[in-house]
Each structure stands twice: as structure tokens, then as C-alpha cells.
Structure 1
Amino acid sequence: MFKYPRLIKMGLNLWPPFLFSGIKISELANDYRYLKVELKHSRLTLNANRTQFGGSIYSMTDPVYSLLLMANLGHKYHVWDKSAEIDYVYPGHTKLIATAHLSQSVLDDILLNTQHGEKYFPKFQFNVVDLEGRLVAKVNRTLYVRLKAAYRKNNNV
């Protein structure tokens, strides 16, 4: 597991794709099982309709579950984003918030399905909400997880 969640959080908040898009990790649990990300509301984050830019809404969820899984699965696993889709439900007129929770049962499921080197594609959903709790967007992400070749019992899988 990554050792320093405070440094990881700070690094992500300084990462140009987040920093220049108004995206901020506001909370990251020490065990990497919970993360809260926010998209600020400012002239720089709005689209032509004066609502939150859809690309930033999408981006705020980009590395989240990959980070949580890499931290919990460790260096023996490849973890990548495979695909994603977004459903814009309501215009974002305020700061937006999304949270990610990684349960032990999800980790157990991933470990079970990758133990012999198989590729596995867990799915995660984000609900992006505004400050009043209204659903602004649903983001579905599919990840790719696989045990690295050096740690597989049968390297031909």
C-alpha cells in the first residue's frame, strides 16, 4: 500500500490536470478505502451555458478508483482505467462533489478473480452531486486489473 496518503493527496492536488481544472481531492482515508473529490465553481470551470464544464466533471473521477485499487492491491497488480461513460443528469450550478468507497468485499472479489493471472474488469459508479445534494452526473468506470506476469503461477495466462 502507498505509505503516505497525505503526500499522495497533495501530489494529486498539484497534478496539472486537476490543478488547472479546479479539481481537488478534499479527503483521502489513510487505508485508501475512501476518497472525496470536488470541482470548484468559478469562471474558469464553467462552460458557455455558465454551468460546470462536462469534461471537468468527467475528469474529476478519472484516476480515483485506480489509485484506491493500486494502493490496496500493491505492486503485484496492473491497474488501469479501461472504459468509462457519463450521463449528465442536471446542470452543475455550484461546487460539485463525488465520493469513492472501496469495500473489502470488492477487494476480495478482485483477488478471487485475478488469483491465477486472469484479466478482470470491475465496475464502479460515481454519483456527482451539487451542494444541495442534487444528482448532476452518473459516471460509470470499468477498470482493468491483472496480476503481473512475474507473480502468476502460470505465465501463459
Structure 2
Amino acid sequence: MFSWLKCSRTPAQIMKRRINLWLPLLFSGIVITEIAEDFTAVKGKMKNWKLTKNMHGSQFGGSLFKFTDPIYAMMLQNILGKSYYVWDKEAHIDFVKAAYGEVFLECRLSHAEIDAIKNAAANGEKHLPEFTVRLFDAHNETIAIAKRIVYVRLKREHRP
């Protein structure tokens, strides 16, 4: 009965759908195209819409910056689980060249990086790992480089 209510999607598929329906990304033409089942890799694109362009006809810098916003925090929260606080803490973007078409990103976390983050946060203190995100165009030319700092800490009830 009501077999259509059963959800056979994986957590990564559910997250991809949720993040693609999140209004700040949706209305900026930002689409997450792939999330690895273990959340160690994410790919996305920003569409070439009239509404995402500035007065010069290139992609709006705010939308490019927004594109990088939730990715690493989302990846880490899903990898580390509910025992951790994971927040986006700080960011900086360096615009390299104007983008006149679709823009893409690929974010990856190695198992060594994940282990280092877990080890650094194991004592209950905050850890602030830094990640670099390269935004690029269809010709693989760098459009912008963003640095994201994420706050990671064990929740109080899980601290030693």
C-alpha cells in the first residue's frame, strides 16, 4: 500500500535534491550535478542566465561567490555526522577573469583530509580547516578561486 511513498534514494541523492531546491541557489541558476555517495566529491554548474549577469554581461560576482558557499560544510556535515558542529566560518574570493558562460566547480575531500579533521577535533576543541575552490568555465579556464574556512567541533555531549 502506498508504495509510491517509499523513498529508495540514497542520502547523497536526497541531499542533492534538497540543495538544488534551496532558493538562494535555485534562483541563481546554480545546480549541483553530482554528489559522491560518500560525500567526498561534489560537482556543480552555474547556468548562463540573464538574471545571473551583471551590467557588463558577465556572471555576477555575488552569484559566483554564493556558488562556493554551502559545499564543504555540507560535505563535512554528512561525512562527520550529527556528533559535530560544522559551519561555514569565513571566505575569500579572488576573481581571475570574467565569465561569460556557464561556470563549474569540483570539490573533493581526501580520506587523509577527513582523518586529519577528525583527529584535530577529537579533543573537543574547534578546528578550522581551509579549502580552496576553483571556479572554471567550459574551456577549463579559471574564473575565480575561493578560500573557505569551515568551523568543525564535537558537540558538547561528545567531547572528552
TM-score (norm 1): 0.94
Q: What is residue 31 of structure 2 aligned with on the other side?
A: 24
The answer to whether 1:12 aligns with 2:19 is yes
Q: What is residue 138 of structure 1 aligned with on the other side?
A: 145
Within-5 A mapping of 1:93-104? 93-104=100-111
State the SS of the aligned residue for 1:44: helix
Q: Tell me the CA shift for residue 42 of structure 1.
A: 1.4
Residue segments in structure 1 that go unaligned for 5+ positions in a row = none
How many pairs align? Answer: 151
Q: Which runs of 4+ in 1 moved over 4 A?
A: none
Root-mean-square deviation (CA, aligned residues, Å) is 0.7
| Counterparts of 2:118 and 2:49, CA distance in 1 | 42
The answer to whether 1:34 aligns with 2:57 is no
| Counterparts of 1:17 and 1:37, CA distance in 2 | 15
| Counterparts of 1:14 and 1:118, CA distance in 2 | 34
Residue type of the alignment partner of 2:42: L
Q: Name the stretch that deviates more: 70-79 or 3-12.
A: 3-12
Corresponding residue to 2:125 among 114, 118, 127? 118
Q: What is residue 47 of structure 1 aligned with on the other side?
A: 54
| Counterparts of 1:85 and 1:10, CA distance in 2 | 27
State the SS of the aligned residue for 2:37: coil
State the SS of the aligned residue for 1:71: helix
Q: What is residue 5 of structure 2 aligned with on the other side?
A: none
State the SS of the aligned residue for 1:100: strand
Per-residue Cα deviation, 1:108-153 (whole angstroms, up to 9, x for no partner): 1111111110110000000000001110000000010001100011
Report sequence identity in percent.
38
The answer to whether 1:86 aligns with 2:81 is no
Residue type of the alignment partner of 1:134: E
Q: Tell me the CA shift for residue 44 of structure 1.
A: 1.1
State the SS of the aligned residue for 1:30: coil
| Counterparts of 1:63 and 1:12, CA distance in 2 | 9
| Counterparts of 2:120 and 2:29, CA distance in 1 | 37
Per-residue Cα deviation, 1:61-88 (whole angstroms, up to 9, x for no partner): 1110001100110100000011000000
